Structure 1
């Protein structure tokens, strides 16, 4: 399975996602974010996630704490923890998001000030 063969979708401000594994108990998505984009701040009631940066440098805010992740670095996000990923660079970033169980129907938006 690869992004060339995975089910593709568009999210946010022209960001891409490719489902590499799409099951109720486990989801693996390859995502791409163009420069200057960000995900809406949110949390999941049940899903535990692991973000792993394939290319570029990402900012991930987790419960008010800022983490800078470089290529080939990752971070775990526990259920019920507000978070968002941001691309503040001038290049695309690509990363894997591994969720257990799937985040489908398990996303709650958090409305707070922008970082």
Structure 2
């Protein structure tokens, strides 16, 4: 079945950020996310899930285990399990990106100390 933002399950997270579940299986999750300007995710890690963040548009900062990595359009970063990470949009523009998780992260998220 063809999937897009228009027919995928939508949810709101954080401070008015959007997510669309493009693939939603316990062994694989692909989510299209949108973060408005000047928003951020909470710092966390996953016990089992390996994730790949891929920027579709805009510029984001992905903090990975204390290192700040600037990601622009068409750039990505892989995060292994047990590594604390946090996404920031420090611009005034929206950033849109894909989050690919294997296995899915439901029940696997642990808040990390700042």
TM interval, shorter chain, is over 0.9
CA RMSD of aligned residues (A): 0.4
Q: 1:100 aligns with which of 95, 99, 102?
A: 102
Q: Matches of residues 64-83 of structure 1 in structure 2 within 5 Å?
A: 64-83=66-85
Residue 91 of structure 1 aligns with which residue?
A: 93
The structure where strand makes up a greater share of residues is 2
TM-score by length of 1: 0.96
| Unmatched runs of 5 consecutive residues or more in structure 2 | none
TM-score by length of 2: 0.97
1:44: Cα distance to partner? 0.1
Residue 40 of structure 1 aligns with which residue?
A: 42
Aligned length: 112
Post-superposition, which runs of at least 4 consecutive aligned residues in structure 1 deviate over 6 A? none
Q: Matches of residues 8-23 of structure 1 in structure 2 within 5 Å?
A: 8-23=10-25
| Residues 31-84 of structure 1, C-alpha deviations (whole Å, 9 max, x = no match) | 000000000000000000000000000000000001000000000000000000
| Unmatched runs of 5 consecutive residues or more in structure 1 | none
Counterpart-to-counterpart distance in 1, 2:36 and 2:51: 21
